[in-house]
Amino acid sequence: MSRFIRRSRHALHRRAVACLEQLQASGGERLTDDRGQTTAEYALVLLGAAGIALLLLGWATQSGAIGTLFDAVLGGVIGKVK
């Protein structure tokens, strides 16, 4: 077994023991506060939405869909004005 794996397992074991000791000391209450979790969830959702928007924009630009949509909208507006 490599030295890195042994050190990682040892560190993980120490952390698990520390968490169990903290849980026993707190009488079974929550180990940590999760107030920041909502902020992280919103950030991940925003990153996902931005990624999808970039993919959609890239596809629409390459396919010429934006130009066609723009022409259709302007054609409809001009047609209603006349």
pTM over 0.75: no
Domain boundaries along the sequence of the chain: 1-32, 34-82
pLDDT for residue 59? 85
Residues 29, 19 contacting (CB under 8 angstroms): no
Tokens describing residue 68: 């066609």
Distances (CA, A) of 27 to 30, 40, 72: 9, 28, 66
pLDDT for residue 11? 76
CB-CB neighbours of 62 under 10 Å: 9
pLDDT tens digits for 4-59? Answer: 677 777 777 777 777 777 777 766 555 566 666 777 888 899 999 999 999 988 88
